[in-house]
Amino acid sequence: MKKKMVGKMRYVVQAFAIVLTAIGVFRGYPVAKALLLGVTFIMGPVFCGWICPFGTLQDFFGMLGDKLGIKKCTVSESLNKVLVCSRYVLLIITIFISADFIFNLLSIDPRSNLSVVLTGNSLTVIGWIVIGIFIGISLFFKRPFCNYLCIEGAKYGVFSMLRPVAIIRDKNLCINCNKCNKVCPMNINVSSYGQVRSLQCVNCMECVTECPVSNALTVSIIPVKGKKRKIVLPLIIASALSVFAFIVYNNINYDSLNIGVLSSNLSDRSTVITGESTVEYGDAVGIADGIYTGTGKGFRGEMTTEVTVQSEQITKIEVTETVDDAKWFDRAYSTVASEIISSQTADVDSVSGATYSSMGIKEAVANALINAGGKNVEAIVNDLPEGGRSRGERPEGGRYHDKRPDGDQFNRY
């Protein structure tokens, strides 16, 4: 394939990937996510270089800056080595430290926020501002967010450390023109590598297409010589296929493995917690057996739950739809839903580090029980202050409710 065709093909794939993101393919289809994971294991962070909508947006504004005659600023190699560590530090923090301020900081992630917009959900003013800031910086720097702050890219990089396919540089053919270094959006010193296996590499192929010498830079299986080749390569490929099969078989998405494509981004799932409580009186008193639907406001938008009532008790809570990031939702759901079933009331404690998702679940459960005609349940509104989400002052005790003229409680929206 001619080098110029590779560049054009990448633009087509990037445009198509934006469409697929908008219709939720990378969010709701485990097989698509498993394929991406398998490709990452074999070839590296292809998602970052060919699919990620925010990466594409940064590339576009970078090219726009070139058209406008804006000279790209460069970071010294020594400083760049220090700065690139920042996204891996952020990754470690999010994995090992669970605190509200960390998750609130991650809520302004421009890559995740762009995905929210593409999937038809509303975005806060702060989210738009952060996206705009990084777009503006992209006029002067290559992929600023990808280089230094994207924890999803960091995950992909770490996950692809053992990839068997990489960009190979033939030292005998290389004329040291450094064109590959200049076009690399991730500031990798390509001309210093025999095999470009940097965790920063997103396999965009810009260096390959820009290289003026035929076959000086190629994409191929890493050259393992002798007996090692017979052992190492089959082992790596078999491992990649095993991961793929495991994910497809168990219907697991990236978020469940903490390797989210759109960390991220967003989850649209059906999760169930079941149980039987010995509590005789609770929010479900007076409600006939059945399954009732309710909605609430989560971290990124509306979530929907189905609450099963048997013998005037809550026996199952199923979240059928949510656009909250898994890192918030999972922390909240596993604890809040269990406690609601155990205590038979939606008024349970929120989970630290996942306050918004916790409130969304509680609000949705209360809403479902109110819709079912419950007399004991009080409405809970997620009026936490973000992007106009607040719907009035919260009274003492953290609960917000009102009365219908006939005395029944109802959920105010």
Q: Transcribe 34-75 into DSSP letters.
A: HHHHHHHHHH--HIIIII-HHHHHHHHHHHHHHHTTPPPP--
CA dihedral 46, 51, 54, 59 (to 10 degrees): 80
How many domains is the chain built from? 2
CATH of the domain at 332: 3.90.1010
Task: Evaluate whether residue 204 is within a structural domain.
Answer: no
Tell me which of 120, 138, 162 is where a domain ends.
162
Q: Are residues 277 and 142 in the same domain?
A: no
- Count of C-beta atoms within a 10 Å radius of residue 339: 17
pLDDT for the residue 1? 54
The tokens for 186 are 């991730």
Q: Are residues 275 and 142 in the same domain?
A: no
Q: Are residues 12 and 155 in the same domain?
A: yes
Q: Are residues 155 and 7 in the same domain?
A: yes
Residues 184-198 have a mean pLDDT of 91
Residues 296-304 have a mean pLDDT of 85
Q: Are residues 150 and 280 in the same domain?
A: no
Tell me which of 113, 145, 162 is where a domain ends.
162
Task: Evaluate whether residue 365 is within a structural domain.
Answer: yes
Residue 112: CB partners within 8 Å, gap ≥ 6? 106, 262, 263, 264, 265, 266, 325
Task: Evaluate whether residue 281 is within a structural domain.
Answer: yes
Task: Evaluate whether residue 300 is within a structural domain.
Answer: yes
pLDDT in tens, 64-78: 999 999 999 988 888
The tokens for 163 are 């990839």
Helix (H) or strand (E) holding 360: helix 355-371
pLDDT in tens, 355-377: 888 999 999 999 999 999 988 89
Tell me which of 162, 177, 199 is where a domain ends.
162
- Count of C-beta atoms within a 10 Å radius of residue 68: 8
Among 3, 104, 12, 51, CA closest to 254:
51
Residue 27 has pLDDT above 70, yes or no: no
Domain that holds residue 83: 3-162
Q: Residue 386 gets which letter from DSSP?
A: S
pLDDT for the residue 388? 35
| Contact of 219 with 167, CB cutoff 8 Å | yes
**Cα separation, 146 vs 141, whole angstroms:** 11
Task: Evaluate whether residue 62 is within a structural domain.
Answer: yes
Q: Are residues 157 and 288 in the same domain?
A: no
Task: Evaluate whether residue 71 is within a structural domain.
Answer: yes
- C-alpha separations of 379 from 34, 281, 401 in Å: 40, 17, 5
Task: Evaluate whether residue 37 is within a structural domain.
Answer: yes
Among 78, 39, 28, CA closest to 13:
39
Q: Quick check: helix, strand or coil at residue 130? A: helix
pLDDT in tens, 145-162: 999 999 989 989 988 887
pLDDT in tens, 49-67: 999 999 999 999 999 999 9
Task: Evaluate whether residue 168 is within a structural domain.
Answer: no
End-to-end Cα separation, the chain, in angstroms: 57
pLDDT in tens, 218-270: 988 877 666 656 666 676 666 666 655 655 555 444 343 333 222 333 344 45
pTM > 0.75: no
Among 256, 251, 247, 254, CA closest to 330:
256
